[in-house]
């Protein structure tokens, strides 16, 4: 692409061109309007002068005779700035006047028109004039006219003004357009250059932001914010894949070791069968772990938000509580449910239901108060509630167990976080991470609070 071609292809230059055409048309229109009005004015003046003169001369003729008329005409013709006069007989024979020559036939037709005439008889330049012919009683013809040279001159002036302004508009417009375009193009080229290095892999690069705060600066600032966000996501993604790699490798290694062990030392079909069964169990566990991780990743990516509907929090709590109640009773615990009506929110019943189920699951596992010797003294006393708190809906699962110390709560919601004492019990340490992700997806949050004693998990969601 040539430099000129590139210039022409820019939006700024095209806009400049369009403006140029519009302004030229506008200037032409204004000048044309002025010229037309001025011409009308000049004609009107000439017409009224002729009217007055022809009236006066006709009066002279009526008062005296043809002699008096000729006298008047000759006197007037000598005055400075005189009009044009011609008096002829009915046959067209010239009696008096200051017009050299006119087109034949003009003098025979009464009325007003624009004609060409000459001041002297022989070969002078023809000029334009507005004339009026009157037939006097007795057949004499009287012609009075005004030279239109002023109008001609005015037209010339206007035409020249139009030419100059057009030239000026084009030159200044092109210069301005070129200047602006070059300025914009330079900045856009700089931005393009930076984005190219960023695309090449240097994610730390940022676009230059000027001090003027104009549209290009705002664009650059927004692009920078976008790059920051992309950077964050990339970092997050890397962390997640590191975690996944680490936490899938542990059970995979166990799986592999067990298989190897069976191949090496198993002697009879029963032993092989036992090894295969434990392998199957181990791989099912792996699949569940993998699914849980995928689920969290998907929720964090926000993809499920498309399926949101209006959900009643009380119904979710009642449903899941009803599902878990027998299990809690089986464990020797109690479940107290309290809900209030009208707790609807915009979200996913399935995801929130799963979060409530995870929280209840945790409460069953860790909510029992241990006796001094480490064995559960009694079953977990669990309370679950759905309630309104301002414009938010809160789902609260509380237990009376040992709880989580304040300083460990932030860690508890991290992926794979298994706090001290939890390692010996089943679970992946993903329940609270999922709960946090689901809360964020709904524009809410998961809070872990002290139930004194025990843990209180509060899922706070914006109400519908």
Partner 1 sequence: MPPVRPAAPFRLEIGTLFPSRLDAMRILVVEDDVEAAAYLTKAFREVGHVADHAPDGLEGYALAREGQYDALVVDRMLPRLDGLSLIRSLREQDVQTPALILSALGQVDDRVKGLRAGGDDYLPKPYAFSELLARIEVLARRRGGPSGEPTTYRVGDLELDRLSHRVARGGQDIPLQPREFRLLEYLMKHAGQVVTRTMLLENVWDYHFDPQTNVIDVHVSRLRAKIDKGHDTPLIHTIRGAGYQIRDGAR
User: How distant, in Å, are the alpha carbons of 14, 295, 357, 427 from that of 361?
Assistant: 66, 18, 6, 10
Which span sits near partner 1 by CB under 8 A: 164-172, 224-232, 347-355, 410-418? 347-355
- Interacting span for partner 1 (CB under 8 A) from 42-50, 149-157, 245-253, 321-329: 321-329
Q: Is 149 in the site for partner 1 (CB under 8 A)?
A: no
Chain residues 38-57 in contact with partner 1, contact rule CB under 8 A: none
Q: Under the criterion CB under 8 A, does residue 65 sit at the interface with partner 1?
A: no
8 Å CB contact between 320 and 360 = yes
Binding test (CB under 8 A) with partner 1, winner from 357, 392, 417, 419: 357
**Interactions with partner 1, residue window 422-451 (CB under 8 A):** 427
Task: Count Cβ atoms within 10 A of the Cβ of residue 232 and give its class: 0-12 exposed, 13-18 middle, 19 or more buried.
Answer: exposed
How many residues touch partner 1 under the rule CB under 8 A: the total is: 35
- Using CB under 8 A, pick the residue from 175, 327, 389, 410 that binds partner 1: 327
Q: Which is nearer to partner 1, 298 or 411 (CB)?
A: 298
Token reading at 51: 């009217």
Answer positive or negative: Cα dihedral of 352, 358, 361, 367. Answer: negative
* DSSP letter assigned to residue 463: B
- Which residues from 359-378 bind partner 1, rule CB under 8 A? 361, 364
Q: What's the length of the chain?
A: 464
**370-389 b/e with 16+ CB inside 10 Å = b?**
eeeeeeeeebbbbbbbbbee
Whether 165 contacts 20, CB under 8 Å: no
The pair of structure tokens assigned to 12 is 């700024």
Q: Which is nearer to partner 1, 353 or 401 (CB)?
A: 353
Span interacting with partner 1, options 150-158, 161-169, 255-263, 354-362, rule CB under 8 A: 354-362
State how far the Cα of 427 lies from the Cα of 415, in Å rounded to an integer. 12
CB 398 within 8 A of CB 325: no
CB of 283 to partner 1, least distance (A): 8
Angstrom distance (rounded) from CA 184 to CA 314: 58
CB of 357 to partner 1, least distance (A): 6
Strand, helix or coil for residue 460 = strand
Residues 293 and 241: beta-carbon distance below 8 Å: no
The reply to whether 246 sits near partner 1 by the rule CB under 8 A is no
Binding mask 265-304 for partner 1 (x = CB under 8 A): -----------xx--xx--xx-xx--xx-xx--x----xx
How many CA atoms within 13 Å lie on the side-chain side of 326?
Answer: 2
Instruction: Kindly calculate the radius of gyration of the chain based on its CA atoms and give it in whole angstroms.
Output: 51
Q: Which of 97, 145, 353, 454 binds partner 1 (CB under 8 A)?
A: 353
> Pseudo-torsion of CA 452, 455, 456, 459, nearest 10°?
160
Binders of partner 1 among 70-129, rule CB under 8 A?
A: none
Candidates 354, 433, 436, 460: give the one binding partner 1 (CB under 8 A): 354
326 binds partner 1 (CB under 8 A): yes
Nearest-approach distance from CB 280 to partner 1, in angstroms: 6
Of the candidate residues 233, 323, 377, 389, the single one contacting partner 1 (CB under 8 A): 323
Residues that bind partner 1 (CB under 8 A): 276-277, 280-281, 284-285, 287-288, 291-292, 294-295, 298, 303-304, 306-307, 319-320, 322-324, 326-327, 330, 348, 350-351, 353-354, 357-358, 361, 364, 427
């Amino acid at each position: 692409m040539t430099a000129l071609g590139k210039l022409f292809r820019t939006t700024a230059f095209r806009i400049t061109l369009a403006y140029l055409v519009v302004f030229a048309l506008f200037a032409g229109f204004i000048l044309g309007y002025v010229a037309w009005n001025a011409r009308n004015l000049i004609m009107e003046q000439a017409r009224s002068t002729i009217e007055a003169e022809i009236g006066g001369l006709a009066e002279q003729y009526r008062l005296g005779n043809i002699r008096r008329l000729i006298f008047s005409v000759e006197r007037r013709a000598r005055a400075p700035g005189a009009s044009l006069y011609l008096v002829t007989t009915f046959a067209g024979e010239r009696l008096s006047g200051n017009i050299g020559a006119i087109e034949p036939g003009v003098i025979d037709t009464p009325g007003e028109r624009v004609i060409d005439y000459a001041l002297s008889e022989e070969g002078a330049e023809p000029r334009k004039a507005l004339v009026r012919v009157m037939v006097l009683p007795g057949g004499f013809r009287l012609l009075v006219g005004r030279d239109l040279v002023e109008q001609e001159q005015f037209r010339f002036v206007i035409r020249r003004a139009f030419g100059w302004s057009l030239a000026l508009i084009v030159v200044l417009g092109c210069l301005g357009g070129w200047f602006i375009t070059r300025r914009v193009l330079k900045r856009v080229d700089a931005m393009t250059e930076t984005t190219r290095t960023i695309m090449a892999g240097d994610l730390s690069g940022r676009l230059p932001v000027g001090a003027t705060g104009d549209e290009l600066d705002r664009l650059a600032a927004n692009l920078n914010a976008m790059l920051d966000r992309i950077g964050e996501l990339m970092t997050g993604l890397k962390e997640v894949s590191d975690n996944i790699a680490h936490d899938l490798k542990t059970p995979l290694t166990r799986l592999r070791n067990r298989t190897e062990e069976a191949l090496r030392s198993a002697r009879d079909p029963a032993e092989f069968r036992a090894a295969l069964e434990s392998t199957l169990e181990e791989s099912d566990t792996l699949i569940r772990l993998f699914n849980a991780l995928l689920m969290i990743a998907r929720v964090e990516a926000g993809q499920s938000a498309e399926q949101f509907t209006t959900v009643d929090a009380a119904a979710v709590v009642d449903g899941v509580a009803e599902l878990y109640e027998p299990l809690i009773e089986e464990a020797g615990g109690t479940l107290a449910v309290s809900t209030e009506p009208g707790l609807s929110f915009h979200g996913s019943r399935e995801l929130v239901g799963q979060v409530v189920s995870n929280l209840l699951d945790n409460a069953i596992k860790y909510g029992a108060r241990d006796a001094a010797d480490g064995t559960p003294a009694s079953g977990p006393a669990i309370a679950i509630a759905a309630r309104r708190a301002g414009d938010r809906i809160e789902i609260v699962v509380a237990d009376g167990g040992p709880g989580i110390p304040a300083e460990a709560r932030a860690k508890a919601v991290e992926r794979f976080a298994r706090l001290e004492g939890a390692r010996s019990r089943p679970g992946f340490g993903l329940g609270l991470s999922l709960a946090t992700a689901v809360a964020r997806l709904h524009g809410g949050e998961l809070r872990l609070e002290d139930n004194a004693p025990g843990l209180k998990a509060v899922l706070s969601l914006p109400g519908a």
